[in-house]
Amino acid sequence: MLLDYSSSFHYVLALLPEVVISVGGMLVLIMGVVRKRERGHTAELGWISLAVLAVAAVANGWLYSGVSEAGATAMFALDGFRLFANWVFLIGAAFSIVISLAYVDRQRLQAGEYYSLILFATIGMMVMAAARDLMVIFLGLELMSIAVYALVGFNRRDRRSAEAGLKYFLLGAFASGFLLFGIALVYGATGSANIHAIAVAVQDGAAPAALMVPGVALLAIGLAFKVAVVPFHMWTPDVYEGAPTPVTAFMAAAVKAAAFAAFLRVFVVGLDGVYNQWWSILWWLAAITMVAGNVIALVQSSVKRMLAYSSIAHGGYLLVALVSANDTAAAALLFYLLIYTVMNIGAFAIVISVGNQSEENLSIESYTGFGWRKPVMGVFMTIFLLSLAGFPGTAGFIAKYNLLLGAAESRLWVLSVILVLTTVVSYWYYLRVAWYMWMKEAPEEAAAGGPGHALTPFATHVVLFVSVGLILLGGIFPGALLEMAADSVAGLRDFMAGPVAGN
């Protein structure tokens, strides 16, 4: 089917997944207000939210199955990159809602507001991935950010959650200002906020460097904050530790994926013509982020803080794909985002299980003997940790291997070496948790009923089984997913040059 944007109906069809979630989010919010905090209805609202995401997934699949657009001048793209990214966001949101079901009920949180905020944040992510205009990216970013600000500080009875929400809001608003100033300068230099028009202007040399250079720098700063790369990462550990654990999982996976989708659209597509002005900046950011994230993660005693710093390191790995700026790297980025979302949320689901009724039992020592008390959960956590580390046989290894292929194609040899060495370093802190689970004997009081003895909801078990299945299938038979990712970036090829001319 060919969509003509001169028709309002066709425009709505092109945005069908976003429309579905918008309507569903409002429905969940209204139902939450009507039913207040009646126990027993919190899970019901969660299941309704999952149904909304399922309908949006069907709509996304319909668009992916062969629907195309007439021309490429609209503010929203209808391409494989957007639709593949949507799968990542939908999976991240759905998994986050599932692991929230018991948590929301246990913590007596306002279910309607909580689940609707996740849905609204998901809309913002999808808008960011679809945007062909810098102002639309900013609109999606703010829609996502405002919802996530509220989610981080959602548990008002927890002082750490309130503090994390305030800190994230203040720093996030500051970063949004940088991004907006960057958009203004790029608009002044090129006369347009349309990404393809910007690409044409910079290719023709029509954009004055006096405006483009600071504009590009400010865009990089604004987006770097959202993906938490060094030195714009200082908010991450405190916010991740203070936020409700399901929200932390959502932020570390889906929010990061959305920011990288926008990063690629802006820099690899729109600013490809001034690649020489920004590649060295992202090169250094990637190198420093990989080193700092992994080194600081080594000394963490809290599992949530360790995963926070490891997410910073993964942001550095993904920056390698942006610096590479070629088809292979772009496809690797999409594959990596999908796998990282699955394995990261899976790991946080185990963290919630170990934490039992509170957020206090989240030190690495809390995992002592966990593998023997809950063998299935212990095996799952070990698989997630191995995949996060990039162990052969897991999808995490395939993801990093393809990032290296993209970097090698662009002859980024030093960055490739740093990626490999820091991956080796990450084995220590990931396997340290596994060592506590399997190799250390739990104290008698823990063995009798300590952390990890709470029953894990059936829905969470389903998420864990699906996550482990994707990780193992993606590690042993990655061909289908890699081919799908490669096909999804085919529409971006005309705008990629890479660090080597003609690459």
Indicate whether 176 pLDDT > 80.
Answer: yes
CB 334 within 8 A of CB 489: yes
The mean pLDDT value for 234-257 works out to 87
Residue-wise pLDDT for 264-296, tens only, equals 989 888 888 778 888 888 999 999 999 999 999
Instruction: Tell me 441's DSSP state.
Output: P
Q: Residues 6 or more apart from 100 whose CB is under 8 A from it?
A: 46, 114, 115, 118, 244, 246
- Write down how long the chain is: 503
Query: Which class for 466: exposed (0-12), middle (13-18), buried (19 or more C-beta within 10 A)?
Result: middle
Amino acid at 404: L
* Count of C-beta atoms within a 10 Å radius of residue 385: 27
Q: Domain range for residue 318?
A: 2-495
* Count of C-beta atoms within a 10 Å radius of residue 441: 10
3-state secondary structure 195-226: HHHHHHHHHCCCCCHHHHHHHHHHHHHHHHHH
Q: What string of DSSP letters covers 12-41?
A: HHHTHHHHHHHHHHHHHHHHHHHHTT-TTS
Tell me, yes or no, whether 500 lies in a domain. Answer: no
Beta pairing partners, 76? 131
Q: Residues 6 or more apart from 173 whose CB is under 8 A from it?
A: none
The counts of H helices and E strands in the chain are 22, 2
Tell me, yes or no, whether 350 lies in a domain. Answer: yes
Indicate whether 189 pLDDT > 70.
Answer: yes
pLDDT averaged over the chain? 85
Residue-wise pLDDT for 333-373, tens only, equals 999 999 999 999 999 888 887 765 455 446 788 788 888 88
Q: Which of 353, 229, 253 is nearest to 303 (CA)?
A: 353
> Which pLDDT value is given to residue 73?
62
Indicate whether 74 pLDDT > 80.
Answer: no
Tell me, yes or no, whether 208 lies in a domain. Answer: yes
Q: Quick one: pLDDT band at residue 494, thresholds 50, 70, 90?
A: low
Lowest mean pLDDT among 24-28, 124-128, 286-290, 455-459: 455-459
Task: Please give the share of the chain, as a percent, with pLDDT higher than 90.
Answer: 41
> Which pLDDT value is given to residue 198?
87
> Which pLDDT value is given to residue 120?
95
- The answer, as to whether pTM is greater than 0.75, is yes
Distance CA 399, CA 388 (A): 10
- Structure token digits, residue 239: 């916010």
> Which pLDDT value is given to residue 448?
47
The mean pLDDT value for 468-483 works out to 92
Tell me, yes or no, whether 65 lies in a domain. Answer: yes
CB 416 within 8 A of CB 283: no
Q: Does the CA dihedral 406-411-412-414 come out positive or negative?
A: positive
Distance CA 410, CA 52 (A): 41
Q: In Å, what is the CA distance from 89 to each residue of 263, 337, 355, 453, 464? A: 16, 10, 26, 31, 17
Q: Quick one: pLDDT band at residue 77, thresholds 50, 70, 90?
A: confident
Tell me, yes or no, whether 501 lies in a domain. Answer: no
Indicate whether 423 pLDDT > 90.
Answer: yes
CB 42 within 8 A of CB 450: no
- Count of domains for the chain: 1
The mean pLDDT value for 381-408 works out to 93
Distance CA 179, CA 145 (A): 13
**Strand, coil or helix: 194:** strand
The mean pLDDT value for 52-58 works out to 95
Indicate whether 332 pLDDT > 50.
Answer: yes
CB 80 within 8 A of CB 333: no
> Which pLDDT value is given to residue 500?
36
> Which pLDDT value is given to residue 496?
43
Indicate whether 145 pLDDT > 60.
Answer: yes
> Which pLDDT value is given to residue 417?
94
Tell me, yes or no, whether 32 lies in a domain. Answer: yes
The mean pLDDT value for 377-401 works out to 92
CB 117 within 8 A of CB 95: no
Q: Which of 483, 250, 460, 208 is nearest to 355 (CA)?
A: 460
Phi and psi at residue 79, in whole multiples of 5°? -130, 170
Residue 476 CA to chain centroid, in angstroms? Answer: 23
> Which pLDDT value is given to residue 235?
85
Tell me, yes or no, whether 299 lies in a domain. Answer: yes
The mean pLDDT value for 139-160 works out to 88
Distance CA 291, CA 286 (A): 9
Q: Which of 454, 46, 387, 84 is nearest to 246 (CA)?
A: 46
Tell me, yes or no, whether 186 lies in a domain. Answer: yes
The mean pLDDT value for 194-206 works out to 84
Q: Which helix (H) or strand (E) holds 138?
A: helix 134-152
Burial 67-86 (b: 16+ CB within 10 A, else e): bebeeeebbbbbbbbbbbbb
> Which pLDDT value is given to residue 199?
85
Radius of gyration of the chain (CA): 22
